[in-house]
Copies of this chain bind each other. A is one copy, B any other.
Amino acid sequence: MLSPALAEPQSGLVSQAPLFQAGKYRILALVFDDYETLDLHGPIEMLGHMPNAEIKLVAAKDVVRSYQGPRVVADCLTNALYECDLFIIPGGLGTRTLVNDAALINWMERQVALSQSVFTICTGTALIAKTKVMNGLKATTNKMAYPWVTSLNEHIVWQPKARWVDDGKFLTSSGVSAGTDAALYWVAKLHGDKEARRIQRLTEYQWINDANNDPYAAHFDL
C-alpha cells in the first residue's frame, strides 16, 4: 500500500486526463525535492528531440524544487502507476533520504514493472538499488558517491569504470553529465547513429560516445 503522504496535490496543476498521447514514445521521469538539475534536464534535452517523444514528470507532490532552486511541475503523481517506454530516475541530494522512504521504493518497484526500459542517472541508481529489480545485473553510478550507492545492494554487479552501462532493460549512468551522454547513446540505440548525431549537432553538444571513457573513476581512485 502507498502512504497517503506520497500524493499531496497542492494547486490543481496535475491533470486527470490520460498521461500520454497515443503512438508516442512515452518517457516518464521521477522528480523529487533536491533532485540534481542536469541529471534530469540533460537527458530530457536529448531524448526530447527524438521523433515522437513525449516527456512527463511524476512526483509525490505537484511542485518540486531542484537542488539548484528552480521548481518544476509534476504531470502526474506517485499515487498511481503509468505504462511507459522509458522510466527515468535522476539523482541528487534528495536521494539520501528517499532511499529510506519505503512507500516510494515500493512504488518504484511496481512502476519499473510497467516500464519497457529504465534509465537511472547518478545517485538515481541508489533508488533502484533499494529495490530488487536490478539484482544480478550490471550497473554504475556517480563516482563521488560510489561507496555509498554500491553499499545499498551487494547483488548488483557494480561497474567502477564506466560512463554508462546498458544491461538490457536497464541503462545506468555515472554522475550528472554522464546522463546526457547516455541519453544520446539511447537515441542511437533506438533510432541509429545518424539520428543521435543530428541531435548532437542541433544542440552543439560535444558528445563523447564511449561508455568506457570514464575519467572520473580514476579521479576518485576506484
Contacts and interface: CB of A to CB of B under 8 A. Distances in A.
A117 interface: no
Interface string A133-168: 000000000111000000000000000000000000
Given A11-B13, A178-B204, A44 B70 contact: yes
Interface in A174-203: 174-178, 180, 201-203
B69 A55 contact: yes
Contacts of A47: 68
Of the four ranges (under 10, 10 to 19, 20 to 34, 35 or more), the interface on chain A belongs to: 35 or more
Given A204-B142, A206-B206, A44 B37 contact: yes
Interface of A: 11-13, 29, 36-38, 40-42, 44-45, 47-49, 54-57, 63, 66-73, 75, 142-144, 174-178, 180, 201-206, 208, 215-216, 219
